[in-house]
Amino acid sequence: MRALLSVSDKAGIIAFAQGLEKLNWEIVSTGGTYKKLHEAGIKVIEIDEVTKFPECFEGRVKTLNPYVHGGILYKRENAAHVAQAKELSVEGIDLVCVNLYPFKETIEHTENFDEIIENIDIGGPTMVRSAAKNFNDVLIVTATNDYDSVLNALRKNINTLDFRRSLMIKAFEHTAAYDAMIANYMNGRFNDGFGDYQFITGKKTFQTRYGENPHQKGALYEFDSHFTNNFKQVKGEASFNNINDVNGALKIASSFGEEAAVCIVKHGNPCGFAVKDTLFESYTEALKCDSISAFGGVVAVNGIVTKALAEKMNEIFLEVIMAADFEAGALEVFEKKKRLKLFSQGGTKLIMSKDSHDFKHIDGGFVYQNSDCICDNEVHNAHKKSKLTATKQEIKDLEIAWKVAGLTKSNCVVYVKNSAMVAVGMGMTSRVDAAQCALKKAKEMRIDVSGSAMASEAFFPFRDSIDAAATAGVKAIIEPGGSIRDDEVIEAANEHGISLYFTTVRHFLH
Helices in 191-306 by DSSP H: which ranges? 226-230, 240-254, 279-289, 291-294
pLDDT for 254: 94
Tens-digit pLDDT profile for residues 94-123: 999 999 888 999 999 999 999 999 999 999
- Looking at the domain that runs over 2-190, which CATH code has it been given? 3.40.50.1380
pLDDT (0 to 100) of residue 333: 95
**How far apart are alpha carbons 282 and 303 in whole angstroms?**
11
Question: Residue 26: what pLDDT?
Answer: 96
Superfamily classification of domain 377-502: AICAR transformylase, duplication domain (3.40.140.20)
Total-model pTM: 0.85
Domain edges within the chain = 2-190, 230-344, 377-502
CA distance 456 to 423: 12
Q: 133 catalytic, yes or no? A: yes
Q: What is the pLDDT along the chain (510 residues), one digit of tens a residue?
A: 999 999 999 999 999 999 999 999 999 999 889 999 999 999 999 998 898 888 888 878 888 899 999 999 999 999 999 999 999 999 999 999 999 888 999 999 999 999 999 999 999 999 999 999 999 999 999 999 999 999 999 999 889 999 999 999 999 999 999 999 999 999 999 999 999 999 999 989 889 988 999 999 999 998 877 776 777 888 988 889 999 999 999 999 999 999 999 999 999 899 999 999 999 999 999 999 999 999 999 999 999 999 999 999 999 999 999 999 999 999 999 998 889 999 999 999 999 888 888 989 888 898 989 888 888 889 999 999 999 999 999 999 999 999 999 999 999 999 999 999 999 999 888 888 888 889 999 998 999 999 999 999 999 888 988 998 999 999 999 999 999 999 999 999 999 999 999 999 998 988
Which residues have a Cβ under 8 Å from the Cβ of 418 and sit 6 or more positions away? 393, 397
Q: What is the pLDDT of residue 253?
A: 95
Do 2-190 and 230-344 agree at the fold level?
Answer: no
pLDDT at 286: 97
DSSP state of 493: H
Distant-in-sequence contacts of 430-435, Cβ < 8 A, 24+ apart? 431/456, 431/458, 431/460, 431/461, 431/465, 432/462, 432/464, 432/465, 432/468, 435/465, 435/468, 435/469
CATH superfamily, domain 230-344, is AICAR transformylase, duplication domain (3.40.140.20)
Task: Report the distance separating Cα 350 and Cα 279, nearest Å.
Answer: 13
- 45 three-class SS: strand
DSSP-based three-state secondary structure for 135:
coil
Q: Give the chain's count of helices (H) and strands (E).
A: 21, 21
Residue among 81, 267, 312, 357 flagged as catalytic: 267
Of 10, 104, 133, 312, which is the active-site residue? 133
